[in-house]
Structure 1
Amino acid sequence: MLEGVTIEQLRTLRAVAEAGSFSGAARKLGRVQAAVSQSIDRLEAQLELRLFDRSGRVPRLTRHGEAIVAAARKIEGDVDALEELAAHLKRGEETSLSIVVDALFPTASLVPFAKDFAAEHPKVSLVLFTDVLSAVTAHVRERRSAWGIAVEDADARDLERRPIADVRLVSVAAREHPLAKRVGAIDAAGLEDAVQIILGEHRDTADTSDVQGVFSPRTWRVVDQATKHALIASGLGWGHMPEHLVRDDLRAGRLVELLLDAWGSSPLRRSLVLVWRRGAVLGPVARWAQQRLSELCLREIEPEVARRATHHTT
């Protein structure tokens, strides 16, 4: 029964299930709708199962169809891993490595990482990308990067993940900003007239990364931490920033930490996680880079934790 079933049929099945229609799957696959319909008809005949209910305006997966789609997803993942292994064996030694990190990642860790990388792997080229939220995990899922470091709430479908460090977020404003001169905790009414600088993805329709922490009715959206930092430091608004990025500004008094009623007494933290494709075969250079960059990230964000970990291993 399964001898005639092809990987292409299973990919077509998944495309229809994800697009919600034969026409949508045809556009996604770059094929004509008739070819997609014929492929599904042939698959149903080979399996002797009805995979879609076609009685309505759009096809809907049957109970059997849902089970077959789940199995097809696993088979596709295994095939992708096989293709990646074969490609890796053909390439032999790694010649390049592409990595993507979230904007919350401490950029101060990238310089020592790059120096170590150049010393350890002088013949391997390095490409570093920075993005935000689910754009980071999409980078990895779409194979534009071998692996990445994302925030915990990014879309991690089809990816493995491992926690690295917790980033503490602090609400800050420039010392001359009206909010910085407030005494005590600031309630919602106190934020009504203040512009909040928030970080969002590059896409126009993307959600902002601070979506759970938007308290001001007036917002400005930027797409990188450097711009957000500069606007806040210039007194144009307030916002939540990674503590490691504004540590020196707070010590020097250029920025002031705001106490917000909405946060309460517990500090806001967001975890950074290492992500890579499920079933991906990573070479020795990629594995070394994962370990080294994770160590440097932890050292910058949570120096006490890093020191304890180093002491424990020595």
Structure 2
Amino acid sequence: MLPNPTLDQLQVFLAVAESGSFSAAARALNRAQSVISYTIANLEAQVEMPLFERTGSRQPRLTEAGTAMLEDARRILSDLEIMRARVKGLKAGLEAEVAVAISVMVPADAMVDVLGEFREHFPSVSLRLDVGELGVVMDLVMSGRSTIGIGGAVLKQDDALVAERIGQSFMIPVAASHHALAKLGQPLTLADVREEVQLVVTDASGLTKGRDFNVLSYKTWRVSDVATKYYLIRGGLGWGGLPLSFVREDLESGRMVRLDLDAYEQRDYPIYAMRRLASPPGPAAAWMIEAFRSRLALCPTSADYLTGEAAAGAAAKVAAE
């Protein structure tokens, strides 16, 4: 018959291996040393091999078989702790899973920070993450596929949707530093950009069908996602608007430049926390909304960015003189 060690046996085995002695394990588990020795002996009988070398040393040492079993025992007991935490959370009303849809307009560093803290606060809660463009976030929430959405404008009024503004982001028109528009080195007019290829993201949700935002060129390449748009712009294949969080490092390094284009409407895009009215967030989802609110409050507005950019330009000019 195949060995069937009990969880108690594995716990005792792990205590002996980590404490270095039967007596130390007995103290840690508040048991008699004879009980510890008996449990280990039964475990060794179950697996039909010695797990500790007891001769020639005052302290038991793991055998080769014991060393091989150690990581398995740790993993099994760790999984047990996760299960216990999950059951405890479910009894307290904690969700088993949070499904969140996040807009590409949410700065990536803010998303990583919040989700990192979420993992620490709710280790037993599973996460399902979708990142989407334009109307995708709202569509995922309204369809019930996502518990909450952290995203941009509410594109369709619906009484079944609860949307609360928790921050803002903004797009800036950019091109690769070797692109023809960047080389002009001057404020741009509509005439300058009309014949240049503009990269535009299409809305997979269909909520913005027939509507274009800041599309100024006669020539457009339409792509399915912001990441593709970013790489094509960086490669010099066109120009377009991108969230500041996507291009901040490229602007600082000089790989890209912000286009001085008055015709491109540069305004703040509100970021909302969305949910269905019939599905109030549980403790973990509610925590996530507040964490995003706190983190996004630190993000600059478009006016802040442009003011800072102007100040940096003036300082550089003075330094050059």
State TM-score, norm by structure 2: 0.61
Q: Amino acid of the residue matched to residue 233 of structure 2?
A: I
In structure 1, stretches of 5+ residues that fail to align are: 1-88, 306-314
For the pair shown, the structure with the greater C-alpha radius of gyration is 2
> Structure 1 residues 250 and 289, CA, compared in 2 at 3 Å: closer, same or farther?
same
Hey, what does 2:175 align to over in structure 1? 173
SS of the residue aligned with 1:213? Answer: coil
Hey, what does 1:222 align to over in structure 2? 223
Hey, what does 2:267 align to over in structure 1? 268
Alignment check: 8 A CA contact 1:173 1:232 kept: yes
Identity rate of aligned residues, in percent? 30
Hey, what does 1:192 align to over in structure 2? 194
Aligned equivalents of 2:210, 2:250: Cα separation in 1:
25
Aligned equivalents of 2:156, 2:111: Cα separation in 1:
24
Whether 2:245 is the aligned partner of 1:241: answer no
Q: Amino acid of the residue matched to residue 276 of structure 2?
A: R
SS of the residue aligned with 2:110? Answer: helix
State TM-score, norm by structure 1: 0.62
> Structure 1 residues 141 and 153, CA, compared in 2 at 3 Å: closer, same or farther?
closer
> Structure 1 residues 230 and 182, CA, compared in 2 at 3 Å: closer, same or farther?
same
Alignment check: 8 A CA contact 2:165 2:270 kept: yes
Aligned equivalents of 1:92, 1:291: Cα separation in 2:
18
SS of the residue aligned with 1:217? Answer: coil
How many residues in Structure 1 have an aligned counterpart in Structure 2?
214
Q: CA deviation at 1:245?
A: 1.8
Whether 2:201 is the aligned partner of 1:202: answer no
Q: Amino acid of the residue matched to residue 270 of structure 1?
A: Y
Whether 2:218 is the aligned partner of 1:213: answer no
Deviation per CA, 1:110-131, whole angstroms, max 9, x where unpaired? 2222221111111110111111
SS of the residue aligned with 2:129? Answer: strand
Alignment check: 8 A CA contact 1:163 1:272 kept: yes
Deviation per CA, 1:219-251, whole angstroms, max 9, x where unpaired? 111222211111100000000111122111111
Hey, what does 1:287 align to over in structure 2? 286
Q: Amino acid of the residue matched to residue 217 of structure 1?
A: Y
In structure 2, stretches of 5+ residues that fail to align are: 1-89, 305-321
Aligned equivalents of 1:156, 1:204: Cα separation in 2:
15
Q: CA deviation at 1:255?
A: 0.5
Q: CA deviation at 1:185?
A: 2.0
Alignment check: 8 A CA contact 2:177 2:254 kept: yes
SS of the residue aligned with 2:297? Answer: helix
Alignment check: 8 A CA contact 1:99 1:145 kept: yes
What's the C-alpha RMSD, in Å, of the aligned pairs? 2.7
Q: Amino acid of the residue matched to residue 295 of structure 2?
A: L
> Structure 1 residues 100 and 274, CA, compared in 2 at 3 Å: closer, same or farther?
same
SS of the residue aligned with 2:263? Answer: coil
